[in-house]
Structure 1
Amino acid sequence: MAGTQDQGKSDGPVAGYLEEGGGSGPEDLTREGMRLSRHGRHAEALELFGRALNEDPTYTPAWVASGFALGKLGRYKEEIKACDQALALDPTLVDAWINRGFALGKLSRFSEKLVCCERAIILDPSSAQAWNARGHTLGELGRFEEELTCTEIATSLRPRYVGAWVNRGYALMKLRRFREAVSAYTRALEVYPRFASAWVNMGIACCHMNEYARAVSCFESAERIRPFLNVRGLYWKGVALSRSGRRKEAIAILSKVVREDPRHAETWIELSNCHFMVGEIEESVRCFMVAYGIDKQDIRDSLSRAVTLLREGKKEEGVRCLSQALGILLR
């Protein structure tokens, strides 16, 4: 169950600080750039922020706004530089710390992102966004109990914070507290019913609770908003259909998954079960043998890597690889 952000997690920067402004010159240019950014016209906005900074290189709202727009354009290293310029002028800018952390997270530099989030919280302990960003980062580092605590603080500070409710659900799923996760996703969807990834993750949680008909309904709600963009949602929808007794439909969905990802052994196993239950024994055997071939190679690779790591004295990583091989055998 990948996270995701990905699918399923929310941690975007906001421009609350940037809403301030007034006067003329760089202020007006920045205000107009922010208006364009709010409408998704980030490249045009960036041009205006550049003009504002040409007039006044010390105007911090333009630096923060530039960073925000650069992040929206996927230019994360430049976003970090823009935030650094703002923070060099004023180290107390909470949004600059949060936006800098956002960019670092996009570059998978999570330990550095965590520092930014914690600086933001020190400056403003009531910032729900800073708490949510810290939680998201801790989740990426595998610290799910701490992520849950942060999202609880974020939702207590801002009860209608959709992203924090989604991240709270994600942390609960990683802790295998699926019924509580469903409650968190429900809260998110009460605020914003068109959050497709919340519907998908709720469906996955329902599968883990053996509530397959409800899971199918969740996946269908997600698809009405947008088609599934990766195999994760399709796989779990196929599982839900299969366990609901709708095996012909499940076969159609799961066949799409293996076309996209032929080495997804769990899908081949589920396909094998579906074909068996509808009396297609030869196809069931074929799917099972494909899964067995994938598992055999994965087990061999995991054991080989475990031996290498243990010989190098990397006991913890070696044991993890052995556990992975055992998990495949028990699947």
Structure 2
Amino acid sequence: MSIFSDKDPEILFREGLQYLEAKDMAAALDRFEAVLQGDAYFSEAWGCRALVLAYFQRYEEAIASCDRALDLDPNLPNGWLNQGKIWFEWGKFKEALESFERAIKQHPASWEAWASKGNALVTLKRYLEAIPCYDRALEFNPNDYKSYANRGMAQASAGRFRAAIRSYDKALEIAPQAAELFYNRGCAYMSWKNYGEALADFDRAVALEPDRVAAWINRGTVLSQLERQEEALTSYQQAILLDPQETHAWNNQGLVLRKLGRIDAAIAAYDRALQCDPNNYEAWDNRGYALTKLGKFKDAQASFDRALAIVPDHANAIYNQGYCYSLQGKTTLAVDCIARSLQLNPEKYAELVKEDPDLANLHKNKRFQALLKKYS
């Protein structure tokens, strides 16, 4: 017999809510389950039990508890919204989207339901559909800076950088000390190739939150784009100091070291990146290119092979592999690689292939000339 069996379910439910608010989840779960032993038709208890089970990552049980609550009361306040949040937390984004749509149908003026639907659509990479969801959320709650920020993220992901910047500006009017907002706006500026503005935002982000590793990495990236390589190197070193296992910081440090002509040090940085993550295909590619620069063609080809084993259609590795073949006089293989990279990403490589000094010894090859003509 439960120690709670002689208590009124309503009293137990209120106790459960108090424990839930106090984040004492084990005690809350005990109360809600005791409620349901006394009254199996207590829909709100089923709903609250679901929230606690989700906290313990018992998602399947949590969804079953939500389903029971909604079977008993399809109009349970926040029932569909909470179910959507549990699906989302579980990584079931399509199911989450369906629940959020049911929540909106139930409460069309729920800003949280609209914002949550937007989040689900962003996660599903349906960015253009997400934007109007955030618009609706902001109609009902114009002070929700997270909806402005998430709308900015959706806009940037859809390539609407100017609109994204405006969204982040609005978010920063509401939350001017939020490091994440400066970081995200900096990312939008960086994608827009506005490196000066991006640098200013990353500076603000690390000033507000000095241990934000990603901001130090992106700060290094824009400094490198601005040809301030020594400062970029310092930024990557700061990221590594904060997180020695950050593979992208090591990889990017290698890129800067190569630009500074320190090829051996660059290879050592790529090696560290690969110790952190052996599946970092970009580091394998960059390592191969650096080894090619040193004339270590066999080792370079092995690195390119590793990159392409991970991502077979990685155009940059195929392009660099072509460069490596060209230096060895393996013209047919070199042109095959260049043709493949052009096929995979004509926008990037059509211009590069015309001007790249690394491919100068291919310009007399008729197949290569035909490629230049085809993609001109």
Q: TM-score, normalised by structure 2?
A: 0.64
3-state SS, counterpart of residue 51 of structure 1: helix
Give the structure 2 partner of residue 274 of structure 1.
Answer: 256
Give the structure 2 partner of residue 290 of structure 1.
Answer: 287
List aligned pairs for 1:1-331, cutoff 5 A.
25-193=8-176, 195-223=178-206, 224-225=208-209, 227-228=211-212, 232-243=214-225, 247-255=229-237, 256=239, 260-262=245-247, 264=248, 268=251, 270-272=252-254, 274-275=256-257, 280=262, 283=265, 289-290=286-287, 292=289, 297-299=306-308, 301-303=310-312, 326-327=344-345, 330=349
Cα contact 2:152–2:168 (8 A) shared by 1:
yes
Distance apart, 1:324 and its partner CA = 11
Q: Cα 1:189–1:237, aligned 2, differ >3 Å: closer, same or farther?
A: same
Q: Which moved more, 1:49-58 or 1:85-94?
A: 49-58
Letter paired with 1:326? L
Q: Which moved more, 1:45-54 or 1:89-98?
A: 45-54
Q: For residues 35 and 9 of structure 2, what CA distance do their matches in structure 1 show?
A: 4
Name stretches of at least 5 consecutive residues in structure 1 with no aligned partner.
1-23, 306-321
Q: For residues 150 and 133 of structure 2, what CA distance do their matches in structure 1 show?
A: 10
Kindly name which structure, 1 or 2, has the bigger radius of gyration based on alpha carbons. Answer: 2
Q: For residues 108 and 296 of structure 1, what CA distance do their matches in structure 2 show?
A: 33
Distance apart, 1:80 and its partner CA = 0.9
Alignment deviations for residues 281-313 of structure 1 (CA, whole Å, 9 cap, x no partner)? 6545776851636665434554479xxxxxxxx
Alignment deviations for residues 139-172 of structure 1 (CA, whole Å, 9 cap, x no partner)? 2222111011111111112112233222211111
Q: For residues 41 and 310 of structure 2, what CA distance do their matches in structure 1 show?
A: 55
Q: Cα 1:178–1:151, aligned 2, differ >3 Å: closer, same or farther?
A: same
Q: For residues 291 and 214 of structure 1, what CA distance do their matches in structure 2 show?
A: 33
3-state SS, counterpart of residue 239 of structure 1: helix
Name stretches of at least 5 consecutive residues in structure 2 with no aligned partner.
1-6, 271-284, 290-299, 315-339, 353-376
3-state SS, counterpart of residue 40 of structure 2: coil
Q: For residues 38 and 308 of structure 2, what CA distance do their matches in structure 1 show?
A: 62
Cα contact 1:189–1:195 (8 A) shared by 2:
yes
Q: For residues 325 and 72 of structure 1, what CA distance do their matches in structure 2 show?
A: 48
Cα contact 1:162–1:188 (8 A) shared by 2:
yes
Alignment deviations for residues 59-88 of structure 1 (CA, whole Å, 9 cap, x no partner)? 222222222233233332222122112111
Q: Cα 1:172–1:117, aligned 2, differ >3 Å: closer, same or farther?
A: same
Alignment deviations for residues 225-269 of structure 1 (CA, whole Å, 9 cap, x no partner)? 4733xx64443132134345653342244355695354x5x973x
Letter paired with 1:227? D
Q: For residues 23 and 184 of structure 2, what CA distance do their matches in structure 1 show?
A: 27
Give the structure 2 partner of residue 8 of structure 1.
Answer: none
Alignment deviations for residues 93-134 of structure 1 (CA, whole Å, 9 cap, x no partner)? 251211111222223222222221111111111111111222
3-state SS, counterpart of residue 164 of structure 1: helix
Alignment deviations for residues 30-85 of structure 1 (CA, whole Å, 9 cap, x no partner)? 33433443343333332332333333322222222222233233332222122112
Cα contact 1:77–1:103 (8 A) shared by 2:
no
Q: Which moved more, 1:118-127 or 1:192-201?
A: 192-201
Cα contact 1:94–1:120 (8 A) shared by 2:
no
Letter paired with 2:224? S
Give the structure 2 partner of residue 18 of structure 1.
Answer: none
Q: Cα 1:169–1:324, aligned 2, differ >3 Å: closer, same or farther?
A: farther
RMSD, aligned CA? 3.7
Letter paired with 1:180? A
3-state SS, counterpart of residue 78 of structure 2: helix
Cα contact 2:121–2:129 (8 A) shared by 1:
yes
Q: For residues 62 and 176 of structure 2, what CA distance do their matches in structure 1 show?
A: 31
The one of the two structures with greater contact order (alpha-carbon pairs below 8 A, sep at least 6) is 1
Percent of aligned positions that are identical: 29
3-state SS, counterpart of residue 260 of structure 1: coil
Q: For residues 134 and 56 of structure 1, what CA distance do their matches in structure 2 show?
A: 33
